[in-house]
Copies of this chain bind each other. A is one copy, B any other.
Amino acid sequence: MRKIRTFSNDTELVNERRNHIVKKATELIARKGYNNINTRELAMSLGMSTGGLYHYIGSKEDILYLIINFTSDLTTQALARSVTSSDGQGASSRLRASLKIYLETVENYRDFHNFVNHVMLSLSVRDRKIVYEAESRVVDYYESLLRSGIESGEFRKHDPKLIAHNIVAIANAWANRGWYLKKYYTLDKYTNEQTDALLAQITSQEKKPSGNSG
């Protein structure tokens, strides 16, 4: 976590205000685009004065950093929950549980996920790296999950990196292609069908997918 300029030493207050800023800004940016909201407007929606906003950030661009940082944390937490939620079970079950949590997170923080696509080109190289690392962590997690399933014989042999990447792509799609998907799928249906399709793809032939779709 890089240091952002503050005029206050009250860490609690600063964190609270920054959380507020992150959420409102993400919402506004998701609706209008980063460059189409100005600090005046943002401060007003926050119930702050223009000057007040600058007590908790050093520059408008800092907001981008705060948001991607928040998003990165979300991902980390989702992964942590994935790990604990199905600990000790088989690879298929762990994959199924994990996808559910992952897609729920995407649904709940859709704006944050879309935001990343939107501002990627506006980010400094340093900040882009944060995004890259967060996404890489997810791919790595799924890659090792898939790899363990292959080793245990539960999954047949395939390229786990590619499939892990596809999982991320499919999860992101729920956020940035929602305009299309929501016409045909609920999150539940999407989650189940995708999970089934994925398991059909990678499960060893002798083992039938459990198939509780729809």
Partner pick for A132 among B34, B135, B180, B193, CB 8 A cutoff: B180
Residue of B nearest to A30 (CB): B121
Looking at A40, A121, A197, the one whose CB has the most chain B CB atoms below 10 A away is A121
Residue A59 at the B interface, CB < 8 A?
Answer: no
- C-alpha gap A172/B172 in the complex (Å): 11
Residue A188 at the B interface, CB < 8 A?
Answer: no
Residue of B nearest to A122 (CB): B33
Task: Output the least CB separation between A21 and chain B (Å).
Answer: 18
- C-alpha gap A162/B30 in the complex (Å): 25
- C-alpha gap A45/B54 in the complex (Å): 22
A181 pairs with B165, CB closer than 8 A:
yes
Residue A39 at the B interface, CB < 8 A?
Answer: no
Convert A118-152 into 0s and 1s, putting 1 for each residue whose CB lies closer than 8 angstroms to a CB of B.
Answer: 11111000000000100110010000000000000
Query: What are the residues of chain B within 8 A of A34 when measuring CB–CB?
Result: 35, 121
B193 pairs with A197, CB closer than 8 A:
no
A197 pairs with B139, CB closer than 8 A:
no
Chain A residues touching B, majority SS: helix
Residue of B nearest to A131 (CB): B179
A162 pairs with B33, CB closer than 8 A:
no
Residue A43 at the B interface, CB < 8 A?
Answer: no
B177 pairs with A161, CB closer than 8 A:
no
Partner pick for A180 among B32, B136, B200, CB 8 A cutoff: B136
Known: A169-B169, A169-B172. 16 other contacts (CB 8 A): A7-B40, A30-B121, A35-B35, A114-B120, A117-B117, A117-B176, A118-B118, A132-B179, A158-B197, A162-B194, A162-B197, A165-B173, A165-B177, A166-B194, A169-B170, A205-B205
Selected A-B contacts with CB under 8 Å, 23 pairs: A30-B121, A32-B121, A33-B119, A33-B121, A35-B35, A35-B122, A36-B122, A117-B117, A117-B176, A118-B118, A120-B176, A158-B197, A159-B193, A159-B197, A162-B190, A162-B197, A165-B173, A166-B194, A166-B197, A169-B169, A169-B170, A200-B201, A205-B205
Closest 6 CB pairs of A and B: A33-B121, A35-B35, A201-B201, A117-B117, A169-B173, A33-B122
